[in-house]
Structure 1
Amino acid sequence: MQKVISRGMRFRLSPSNLVLLEDCPRCFWLHVIKKIRRPSGPVPSISIKMDSIIKRYFDRYRREGRLPPIIEGKIKGKLASNMPKTLQHIENEHIILWGRPDEYIVTDDETIIALDHKTKSKEPDVIPSAYKLQLDVYSYLLKNNGYKTANKAYLAFYYPSESEIHEGMNIKCSVIEVETDPSRVKKLVKRATEILMGPLPEASENCEYCKWLNEVNQRINERKKIKKVYQVKPLWLFG
Protein backbone atom coordinates (compact mmCIF):
# COMPACT_ATOMS: atom_id res chain seq x y z
CA MET A 1 0.00 0.00 0.00
CA GLN A 2 1.25 3.45 -0.90
CA LYS A 3 1.94 5.45 2.24
CA VAL A 4 0.88 9.09 2.30
CA ILE A 5 1.99 9.93 5.85
CA SER A 6 5.73 10.43 6.09
CA ARG A 7 7.84 9.89 9.20
CA GLY A 8 7.33 12.69 11.71
CA MET A 9 4.09 13.85 10.07
CA ARG A 10 1.34 14.37 12.66
CA PHE A 11 -2.32 15.33 12.43
CA ARG A 12 -4.71 16.79 15.01
CA LEU A 13 -8.11 15.13 14.77
CA SER A 14 -11.23 16.52 16.42
CA PRO A 15 -14.61 14.87 17.05
CA SER A 16 -15.94 16.46 13.85
CA ASN A 17 -13.10 14.81 11.91
CA LEU A 18 -14.15 11.40 13.22
CA VAL A 19 -17.76 12.16 12.32
CA LEU A 20 -16.56 12.89 8.79
CA LEU A 21 -14.60 9.63 8.76
CA GLU A 22 -17.73 7.64 9.60
CA ASP A 23 -19.72 9.52 6.98
CA CYS A 24 -17.22 9.27 4.12
CA PRO A 25 -13.57 8.08 4.29
CA ARG A 26 -12.81 9.81 0.97
CA CYS A 27 -14.01 13.22 2.20
CA PHE A 28 -12.09 12.62 5.45
CA TRP A 29 -8.86 11.84 3.54
CA LEU A 30 -9.25 14.94 1.35
CA HIS A 31 -10.00 17.11 4.39
CA VAL A 32 -7.00 15.97 6.42
CA ILE A 33 -4.37 15.23 3.75
CA LYS A 34 -5.19 17.81 1.07
CA LYS A 35 -6.99 20.40 3.24
CA ILE A 36 -9.95 20.24 0.84
CA ARG A 37 -13.08 20.84 2.88
CA ARG A 38 -16.63 19.98 1.99
CA PRO A 39 -18.64 23.01 0.83
CA SER A 40 -20.66 24.53 3.65
CA GLY A 41 -23.02 27.43 4.13
CA PRO A 42 -22.55 30.29 6.59
CA VAL A 43 -23.04 29.61 10.30
CA PRO A 44 -26.09 31.57 11.55
CA SER A 45 -24.82 34.51 13.57
CA ILE A 46 -27.64 34.07 16.09
CA SER A 47 -26.23 30.65 17.08
CA ILE A 48 -22.78 32.16 17.65
CA LYS A 49 -24.31 34.90 19.81
CA MET A 50 -26.37 32.38 21.77
CA ASP A 51 -23.27 30.31 22.53
CA SER A 52 -21.49 33.40 23.81
CA ILE A 53 -24.41 34.40 26.05
CA ILE A 54 -24.79 30.87 27.47
CA LYS A 55 -21.08 30.59 28.30
CA ARG A 56 -21.03 33.96 30.10
CA TYR A 57 -24.17 32.94 31.98
CA PHE A 58 -22.52 29.71 33.16
CA ASP A 59 -19.30 31.51 34.12
CA ARG A 60 -21.25 33.85 36.40
CA TYR A 61 -22.78 30.97 38.35
CA ARG A 62 -19.46 29.13 38.42
CA ARG A 63 -18.02 32.05 40.37
CA GLU A 64 -20.97 31.77 42.75
CA GLY A 65 -20.28 28.05 43.20
CA ARG A 66 -23.69 26.80 42.10
CA LEU A 67 -25.53 25.49 39.08
CA PRO A 68 -27.29 28.00 36.83
CA PRO A 69 -31.05 28.02 37.52
CA ILE A 70 -31.79 26.95 33.94
CA ILE A 71 -30.24 23.50 34.60
CA GLU A 72 -30.69 23.31 38.37
CA GLY A 73 -32.54 20.13 39.32
CA LYS A 74 -31.73 18.57 35.95
CA ILE A 75 -28.12 17.70 36.77
CA LYS A 76 -26.51 16.48 39.98
CA GLY A 77 -23.23 18.16 40.85
CA LYS A 78 -21.71 21.57 40.25
CA LEU A 79 -19.76 23.37 37.56
CA ALA A 80 -16.11 22.34 37.59
CA SER A 81 -13.38 24.94 37.92
CA ASN A 82 -9.77 24.92 36.73
CA MET A 83 -10.43 22.43 33.94
CA PRO A 84 -8.46 22.77 30.68
CA LYS A 85 -10.20 24.47 27.79
CA THR A 86 -8.92 21.76 25.44
CA LEU A 87 -8.37 18.06 26.11
CA GLN A 88 -5.93 16.16 23.93
CA HIS A 89 -4.21 12.80 23.78
CA ILE A 90 -1.34 11.53 21.63
CA GLU A 91 -2.73 8.38 20.03
CA ASN A 92 0.30 7.31 18.02
CA GLU A 93 3.21 8.86 16.14
CA HIS A 94 0.82 10.36 13.59
CA ILE A 95 -2.40 11.24 15.43
CA ILE A 96 -3.26 13.66 18.22
CA LEU A 97 -6.91 13.52 19.24
CA TRP A 98 -8.40 16.65 20.78
CA GLY A 99 -11.76 17.95 21.96
CA ARG A 100 -13.19 21.01 23.65
CA PRO A 101 -16.26 20.42 25.86
CA ASP A 102 -18.38 23.48 26.59
CA GLU A 103 -18.59 22.62 30.29
CA TYR A 104 -17.58 20.09 32.91
CA ILE A 105 -19.76 18.89 35.76
CA VAL A 106 -18.11 17.59 38.93
CA THR A 107 -20.19 15.26 41.11
CA ASP A 108 -20.03 14.73 44.87
CA ASP A 109 -17.51 11.90 44.43
CA GLU A 110 -15.24 14.09 42.22
CA THR A 111 -16.28 12.44 38.95
CA ILE A 112 -15.87 14.74 35.96
CA ILE A 113 -18.58 14.65 33.28
CA ALA A 114 -18.62 16.65 30.04
CA LEU A 115 -21.58 18.86 29.17
CA ASP A 116 -22.19 20.40 25.75
CA HIS A 117 -24.56 23.21 24.78
CA LYS A 118 -26.74 22.95 21.67
CA THR A 119 -29.15 25.58 20.34
CA LYS A 120 -32.18 24.29 18.46
CA SER A 121 -35.46 25.55 17.05
CA LYS A 122 -37.44 23.12 19.21
CA GLU A 123 -37.07 20.40 21.83
CA PRO A 124 -35.15 17.49 20.25
CA ASP A 125 -36.86 14.18 19.51
CA VAL A 126 -33.67 12.20 18.92
CA ILE A 127 -29.96 12.73 19.50
CA PRO A 128 -28.01 13.02 16.23
CA SER A 129 -25.27 10.41 15.84
CA ALA A 130 -22.69 13.19 15.41
CA TYR A 131 -23.51 14.50 18.90
CA LYS A 132 -23.20 10.99 20.32
CA LEU A 133 -19.73 10.51 18.83
CA GLN A 134 -18.67 13.94 20.07
CA LEU A 135 -19.56 12.92 23.63
CA ASP A 136 -17.82 9.55 23.20
CA VAL A 137 -14.63 11.46 22.39
CA TYR A 138 -14.99 13.70 25.46
CA SER A 139 -15.36 10.70 27.77
CA TYR A 140 -12.41 9.02 26.08
CA LEU A 141 -10.20 12.11 26.46
CA LEU A 142 -11.15 12.64 30.11
CA LYS A 143 -10.24 9.04 30.87
CA ASN A 144 -6.94 9.19 28.97
CA ASN A 145 -5.97 12.42 30.69
CA GLY A 146 -6.24 10.78 34.09
CA TYR A 147 -9.56 12.23 35.25
CA LYS A 148 -12.04 10.20 37.20
CA THR A 149 -14.99 10.01 34.85
CA ALA A 150 -18.01 7.92 33.94
CA ASN A 151 -19.30 6.59 30.64
CA LYS A 152 -21.84 9.36 30.33
CA ALA A 153 -22.15 13.00 29.33
CA TYR A 154 -24.81 15.69 29.18
CA LEU A 155 -26.39 17.57 26.30
CA ALA A 156 -28.17 20.82 27.17
CA PHE A 157 -30.56 21.85 24.39
CA TYR A 158 -31.73 25.47 24.31
CA TYR A 159 -34.75 26.41 22.22
CA PRO A 160 -37.36 29.22 22.10
CA SER A 161 -40.90 28.78 23.38
CA GLU A 162 -44.04 30.78 22.77
CA SER A 163 -43.93 34.16 24.50
CA GLU A 164 -44.84 37.82 24.26
CA ILE A 165 -41.73 38.83 22.34
CA HIS A 166 -41.92 42.45 23.49
CA GLU A 167 -41.47 41.13 27.05
CA GLY A 168 -38.37 39.16 26.05
CA MET A 169 -37.78 35.88 24.26
CA ASN A 170 -38.51 32.85 26.44
CA ILE A 171 -35.75 30.23 26.22
CA LYS A 172 -36.25 26.71 27.53
CA CYS A 173 -33.59 24.11 28.28
CA SER A 174 -33.79 20.32 28.13
CA VAL A 175 -30.90 18.34 29.59
CA ILE A 176 -30.34 14.81 28.33
CA GLU A 177 -27.96 12.33 29.93
CA VAL A 178 -26.22 10.32 27.23
CA GLU A 179 -24.44 7.00 27.75
CA THR A 180 -21.02 7.17 26.10
CA ASP A 181 -18.82 4.49 24.55
CA PRO A 182 -15.13 5.50 24.81
CA SER A 183 -13.98 2.14 23.38
CA ARG A 184 -15.52 3.11 20.05
CA VAL A 185 -13.11 6.05 19.77
CA LYS A 186 -9.99 3.87 19.87
CA LYS A 187 -11.29 1.82 16.95
CA LEU A 188 -12.02 4.96 14.94
CA VAL A 189 -8.54 6.37 15.58
CA LYS A 190 -7.03 3.09 14.33
CA ARG A 191 -9.19 3.24 11.21
CA ALA A 192 -8.30 6.91 10.67
CA THR A 193 -4.59 6.12 10.82
CA GLU A 194 -4.93 3.29 8.30
CA ILE A 195 -6.89 5.48 5.88
CA LEU A 196 -4.47 8.40 6.15
CA MET A 197 -1.52 6.10 5.48
CA GLY A 198 -3.12 4.84 2.28
CA PRO A 199 -4.10 6.35 -1.07
CA LEU A 200 -7.28 8.31 -1.72
CA PRO A 201 -10.24 6.03 -0.88
CA GLU A 202 -13.00 5.28 -3.35
CA ALA A 203 -16.06 7.52 -3.35
CA SER A 204 -18.69 6.47 -0.83
CA GLU A 205 -21.99 5.26 -2.28
CA ASN A 206 -24.09 7.25 0.19
CA CYS A 207 -22.03 10.46 0.18
CA GLU A 208 -23.96 13.27 -1.53
CA TYR A 209 -20.75 15.27 -1.99
CA CYS A 210 -19.01 12.39 -3.79
CA LYS A 211 -22.11 11.83 -5.94
CA TRP A 212 -22.19 15.50 -6.91
CA LEU A 213 -18.48 15.56 -7.78
CA ASN A 214 -18.73 12.37 -9.84
CA GLU A 215 -21.70 13.81 -11.74
CA VAL A 216 -19.82 17.04 -12.45
CA ASN A 217 -16.73 15.16 -13.65
CA GLN A 218 -18.84 12.90 -15.84
CA ARG A 219 -20.56 15.85 -17.53
CA ILE A 220 -17.27 17.68 -18.04
CA ASN A 221 -15.77 14.59 -19.68
CA GLU A 222 -18.83 14.22 -21.91
CA ARG A 223 -18.52 17.84 -23.04
CA LYS A 224 -14.81 17.33 -23.76
CA LYS A 225 -15.62 14.31 -25.94
CA ILE A 226 -18.28 16.24 -27.87
CA LYS A 227 -15.92 19.18 -28.33
CA LYS A 228 -13.18 16.84 -29.55
CA VAL A 229 -15.51 15.27 -32.13
CA TYR A 230 -16.42 18.66 -33.57
CA GLN A 231 -12.78 19.69 -33.69
CA VAL A 232 -11.82 16.75 -35.97
CA LYS A 233 -11.25 18.02 -39.51
CA PRO A 234 -13.06 16.26 -42.40
CA LEU A 235 -10.82 13.80 -44.25
CA TRP A 236 -11.18 15.67 -47.55
CA LEU A 237 -9.32 18.63 -46.06
CA PHE A 238 -6.17 16.52 -45.91
CA GLY A 239 -6.31 15.65 -49.60
Structure 2
Amino acid sequence: MECPKCFWLQKINGIHRPQQIFALQSNFDRILKPYFDKFRKEGKLPPELNGKVEGKLFEDQELLEKWRNALRPTLKYKHPRREGFFLAGGLDDCLFDGRYYIPVDFKTTGSSSFEENSEKYYQHQLDIYNFLLTESGYETKGLAYLVYYKPKEVSGEGLMKFQITVKKMGTEHKRALRLFEDAIELLEGPMPKSHSDCQFCSWANDFID
Protein backbone atom coordinates (compact mmCIF):
# COMPACT_ATOMS: atom_id res chain seq x y z
CA MET A 1 0.00 0.00 0.00
CA GLU A 2 1.26 3.47 -0.81
CA CYS A 3 0.67 5.06 2.61
CA PRO A 4 -0.35 2.98 5.68
CA LYS A 5 -1.78 5.98 7.54
CA CYS A 6 -3.99 7.08 4.63
CA PHE A 7 -5.20 3.50 4.20
CA TRP A 8 -5.99 3.24 7.93
CA LEU A 9 -7.84 6.59 7.95
CA GLN A 10 -9.95 5.59 4.96
CA LYS A 11 -10.99 2.20 6.32
CA ILE A 12 -11.32 3.09 10.02
CA ASN A 13 -12.39 6.76 10.04
CA GLY A 14 -13.87 7.08 6.55
CA ILE A 15 -11.45 9.89 5.69
CA HIS A 16 -10.56 9.66 2.00
CA ARG A 17 -7.71 11.36 0.23
CA PRO A 18 -8.83 14.27 -1.96
CA GLN A 19 -9.22 13.05 -5.51
CA GLN A 20 -6.86 14.38 -8.16
CA ILE A 21 -9.16 14.60 -11.16
CA PHE A 22 -7.78 14.42 -14.68
CA ALA A 23 -10.49 14.41 -17.33
CA LEU A 24 -8.66 12.05 -19.67
CA GLN A 25 -7.88 9.48 -16.97
CA SER A 26 -11.26 9.63 -15.26
CA ASN A 27 -13.15 9.04 -18.53
CA PHE A 28 -10.76 6.64 -20.19
CA ASP A 29 -12.20 3.42 -18.77
CA ARG A 30 -15.65 4.52 -19.88
CA ILE A 31 -14.32 4.86 -23.44
CA LEU A 32 -12.02 1.83 -23.58
CA LYS A 33 -14.38 -0.80 -22.23
CA PRO A 34 -17.00 -0.35 -25.00
CA TYR A 35 -14.14 -0.22 -27.50
CA PHE A 36 -12.92 -3.64 -26.33
CA ASP A 37 -16.51 -4.91 -26.20
CA LYS A 38 -16.96 -4.09 -29.88
CA PHE A 39 -14.11 -6.44 -30.80
CA ARG A 40 -15.42 -9.04 -28.36
CA LYS A 41 -18.69 -9.22 -30.29
CA GLU A 42 -16.71 -9.73 -33.50
CA GLY A 43 -14.58 -12.47 -31.93
CA LYS A 44 -11.42 -10.45 -32.50
CA LEU A 45 -8.67 -8.80 -30.50
CA PRO A 46 -8.20 -5.03 -30.70
CA PRO A 47 -5.39 -4.47 -33.23
CA GLU A 48 -3.02 -3.13 -30.56
CA LEU A 49 -3.14 -6.54 -28.82
CA ASN A 50 -2.57 -8.72 -31.89
CA GLY A 51 0.56 -10.82 -31.48
CA LYS A 52 1.24 -9.35 -28.04
CA VAL A 53 -1.04 -11.36 -25.72
CA GLU A 54 -1.98 -14.96 -25.09
CA GLY A 55 -5.54 -16.07 -25.75
CA LYS A 56 -8.58 -14.10 -26.88
CA LEU A 57 -11.01 -11.70 -25.26
CA PHE A 58 -13.23 -13.43 -22.71
CA GLU A 59 -16.56 -13.92 -24.49
CA ASP A 60 -19.10 -13.86 -21.65
CA GLN A 61 -20.09 -10.18 -21.67
CA GLU A 62 -22.67 -10.56 -18.90
CA LEU A 63 -20.21 -12.16 -16.50
CA LEU A 64 -17.49 -9.67 -17.42
CA GLU A 65 -19.80 -6.79 -16.52
CA LYS A 66 -20.17 -8.32 -13.06
CA TRP A 67 -16.40 -8.66 -12.75
CA ARG A 68 -16.00 -5.02 -13.75
CA ASN A 69 -18.28 -3.74 -11.00
CA ALA A 70 -15.94 -2.73 -8.18
CA LEU A 71 -18.77 -1.12 -6.17
CA ARG A 72 -20.74 -4.37 -6.01
CA PRO A 73 -17.94 -6.88 -6.53
CA THR A 74 -18.53 -10.49 -7.44
CA LEU A 75 -14.79 -11.18 -7.42
CA LYS A 76 -14.40 -11.28 -3.66
CA TYR A 77 -12.41 -13.29 -1.12
CA LYS A 78 -13.60 -13.54 2.48
CA HIS A 79 -10.89 -14.23 5.01
CA PRO A 80 -11.51 -17.69 6.49
CA ARG A 81 -10.41 -16.78 10.03
CA ARG A 82 -10.69 -13.00 10.40
CA GLU A 83 -14.38 -12.13 10.49
CA GLY A 84 -15.47 -9.02 8.64
CA PHE A 85 -12.46 -8.79 6.32
CA PHE A 86 -12.69 -9.42 2.59
CA LEU A 87 -10.62 -8.63 -0.48
CA ALA A 88 -12.37 -7.49 -3.67
CA GLY A 89 -11.69 -5.81 -6.99
CA GLY A 90 -13.03 -4.95 -10.42
CA LEU A 91 -11.35 -5.94 -13.69
CA ASP A 92 -11.09 -3.77 -16.78
CA ASP A 93 -11.10 -6.79 -19.08
CA CYS A 94 -10.03 -10.41 -19.29
CA LEU A 95 -8.45 -12.78 -21.78
CA PHE A 96 -9.22 -16.49 -22.04
CA ASP A 97 -6.59 -18.99 -23.17
CA GLY A 98 -7.79 -22.57 -23.30
CA ARG A 99 -8.88 -22.95 -19.69
CA TYR A 100 -6.98 -20.00 -18.20
CA TYR A 101 -8.26 -16.53 -17.33
CA ILE A 102 -5.83 -13.62 -17.75
CA PRO A 103 -6.67 -10.15 -16.34
CA VAL A 104 -6.14 -7.06 -18.49
CA ASP A 105 -5.84 -3.60 -16.98
CA PHE A 106 -5.91 -0.28 -18.85
CA LYS A 107 -3.59 2.56 -17.88
CA THR A 108 -3.34 6.12 -19.14
CA THR A 109 -0.12 7.98 -18.52
CA GLY A 110 1.88 11.02 -19.52
CA SER A 111 5.16 9.55 -18.33
CA SER A 112 7.95 8.99 -20.84
CA SER A 113 9.24 5.97 -18.93
CA PHE A 114 6.03 4.19 -17.98
CA GLU A 115 7.11 0.80 -19.32
CA GLU A 116 10.00 0.51 -16.88
CA ASN A 117 8.01 1.65 -13.85
CA SER A 118 4.81 -0.34 -14.33
CA GLU A 119 5.78 -3.31 -12.19
CA LYS A 120 6.56 -1.10 -9.21
CA TYR A 121 3.21 0.67 -9.30
CA TYR A 122 0.78 -2.03 -10.39
CA GLN A 123 2.20 -5.39 -9.29
CA HIS A 124 -0.03 -5.74 -6.21
CA GLN A 125 -3.13 -4.86 -8.21
CA LEU A 126 -2.47 -7.61 -10.76
CA ASP A 127 -1.53 -10.12 -8.04
CA ILE A 128 -4.90 -9.46 -6.41
CA TYR A 129 -6.86 -9.82 -9.66
CA ASN A 130 -5.39 -13.25 -10.34
CA PHE A 131 -5.85 -14.29 -6.72
CA LEU A 132 -9.52 -13.26 -6.78
CA LEU A 133 -10.19 -15.12 -10.02
CA THR A 134 -8.57 -18.28 -8.64
CA GLU A 135 -10.43 -18.10 -5.33
CA SER A 136 -13.67 -17.61 -7.29
CA GLY A 137 -13.08 -20.88 -9.14
CA TYR A 138 -11.47 -19.59 -12.35
CA GLU A 139 -8.11 -21.09 -13.25
CA THR A 140 -5.27 -18.64 -13.87
CA LYS A 141 -1.66 -19.04 -15.00
CA GLY A 142 0.20 -16.38 -12.99
CA LEU A 143 -0.07 -13.89 -15.81
CA ALA A 144 -1.69 -10.51 -16.47
CA TYR A 145 -1.35 -7.66 -18.97
CA LEU A 146 -1.11 -3.91 -18.60
CA VAL A 147 -2.16 -1.91 -21.66
CA TYR A 148 -0.80 1.63 -21.56
CA TYR A 149 -2.33 4.42 -23.63
CA LYS A 150 -0.10 7.48 -23.69
CA PRO A 151 -1.37 10.61 -25.52
CA LYS A 152 1.00 11.34 -28.38
CA GLU A 153 -0.48 14.02 -30.63
CA VAL A 154 -3.73 15.62 -31.77
CA SER A 155 -4.52 15.80 -35.46
CA GLY A 156 -6.17 18.69 -37.25
CA GLU A 157 -9.53 16.93 -37.00
CA GLY A 158 -9.30 16.89 -33.21
CA LEU A 159 -8.44 13.18 -33.13
CA MET A 160 -5.95 12.15 -30.47
CA LYS A 161 -3.28 9.59 -31.29
CA PHE A 162 -1.80 7.35 -28.61
CA GLN A 163 1.43 5.51 -28.08
CA ILE A 164 0.24 2.07 -26.97
CA THR A 165 2.38 -0.37 -25.01
CA VAL A 166 1.34 -3.85 -23.88
CA LYS A 167 3.29 -5.21 -20.91
CA LYS A 168 3.16 -8.82 -19.79
CA MET A 169 3.34 -9.22 -16.01
CA GLY A 170 3.90 -12.26 -13.84
CA THR A 171 1.75 -12.57 -10.71
CA GLU A 172 1.89 -14.48 -7.41
CA HIS A 173 -1.03 -15.56 -5.24
CA LYS A 174 1.16 -15.71 -2.14
CA ARG A 175 2.09 -12.07 -2.57
CA ALA A 176 -1.57 -11.03 -2.80
CA LEU A 177 -2.50 -13.03 0.29
CA ARG A 178 0.45 -11.62 2.22
CA LEU A 179 -0.62 -8.08 1.32
CA PHE A 180 -4.15 -8.86 2.52
CA GLU A 181 -2.85 -10.26 5.82
CA ASP A 182 -0.61 -7.22 6.31
CA ALA A 183 -3.55 -4.89 5.65
CA ILE A 184 -5.70 -6.66 8.25
CA GLU A 185 -2.92 -6.47 10.83
CA LEU A 186 -2.54 -2.77 10.12
CA LEU A 187 -6.26 -2.07 10.48
CA GLU A 188 -6.47 -3.95 13.77
CA GLY A 189 -3.70 -1.82 15.25
CA PRO A 190 -3.39 1.86 16.20
CA MET A 191 -3.21 4.62 13.61
CA PRO A 192 0.19 4.51 11.85
CA LYS A 193 2.55 7.46 11.89
CA SER A 194 2.58 9.88 8.98
CA HIS A 195 4.53 8.68 5.98
CA SER A 196 7.51 10.89 5.17
CA ASP A 197 6.73 10.89 1.44
CA CYS A 198 2.94 11.35 1.71
CA GLN A 199 1.58 14.82 1.00
CA PHE A 200 -1.87 13.91 2.37
CA CYS A 201 -0.99 12.78 5.91
CA SER A 202 -0.71 16.28 7.38
CA TRP A 203 -3.87 17.35 5.53
CA ALA A 204 -5.80 14.46 7.11
CA ASN A 205 -4.76 15.53 10.62
CA ASP A 206 -7.29 18.39 10.39
CA PHE A 207 -10.11 15.82 10.31
CA ILE A 208 -8.97 13.70 13.25
CA ASP A 209 -10.53 14.38 16.64
Q: What is the TM-score when the length of structure 2 is the normalising length?
A: 0.81
- CA distance in 2: counterparts of 1:167 and 1:46, whole angstroms: 14
SS at 1:204's partner residue? coil
1:88 equivalenced with 2:66 (yes/no): no
State which of 126, 129, 136 in structure 1 corresponds to 2:127. Answer: 136
Tell me if the contact between 1:137 and 1:185 (Cα under 8 Å) persists in the aligned partners.
yes
Give yes or no for the alignment of 1:64 onto 2:77.
no
Structure 1 residue ranges, 4+ long, deviating more than 4 angstroms after superposition: 211-214
2:46 maps to a residue whose letter is P
Deviation at 1:27, TM superposition (A): 1.9
Given that 2:119 and 2:169 are in contact with CA atoms closer than 8 Å, whether structure 1 keeps it comes out as: no
The aligned counterpart of 1:229 is none
How far off is 1:118 after superposition? 0.8
The residue number in structure 2 matching 1:192 is 183
Q: Which amino acid aligns with 1:157?
A: Y
The answer for the alignment partner of 2:19 in structure 1 is: 40
Structure 2: which 5+ runs fail to align?
68-72
Structure 1: which 5+ residue stretches go unaligned?
1-18, 217-239
Other-structure match for 2:28: 50
What residue is the counterpart of 1:115 in the other structure? Answer: 104
Q: What CA distance in whole angstroms lies between the structure 2 residues aligned with 1:206 and 1:46?
A: 26
Deviation of the 1:45 alpha carbon? 1.9
Q: Which moved more, 1:59-68 or 1:168-177?
A: 168-177
1:79 aligns with 57
Which SS does the other structure have where 2:148 is aligned? strand
Q: C-alpha offsets along residues 164-184 of structure 1, whole Å, 9 cap, x if unaligned?
A: 332732223210001112211
**Residue 96 of structure 2: which of 87, 98, 106 is its match?**
106
1:149 aligns with 2:145: no
CA distance in 2, matches of 1:212, 1:167: 39
Deviations along 1:152-205, one digit per CA (max 9) or x if unpaired, are 110000122346332732223210001112211211222222222222223334
Secondary structure in structure 2 of the residue aligned to 1:147: coil
| TM-score between both structures, scaled by the size of structure 1 | 0.72
From the CA coordinates, give the structure whose radius of gyration is larger: 1
* Equivalent position amino acid for 1:71 in 2: L
Q: How many residues align?
A: 193
Once the two structures are TM-superposed, the CA of residue 151 in structure 1 deviates from its matched residue by 1.1
Preserved CA contact (<8 Å) 1:115 1:155: yes
Amino acid at match of 1:78: K
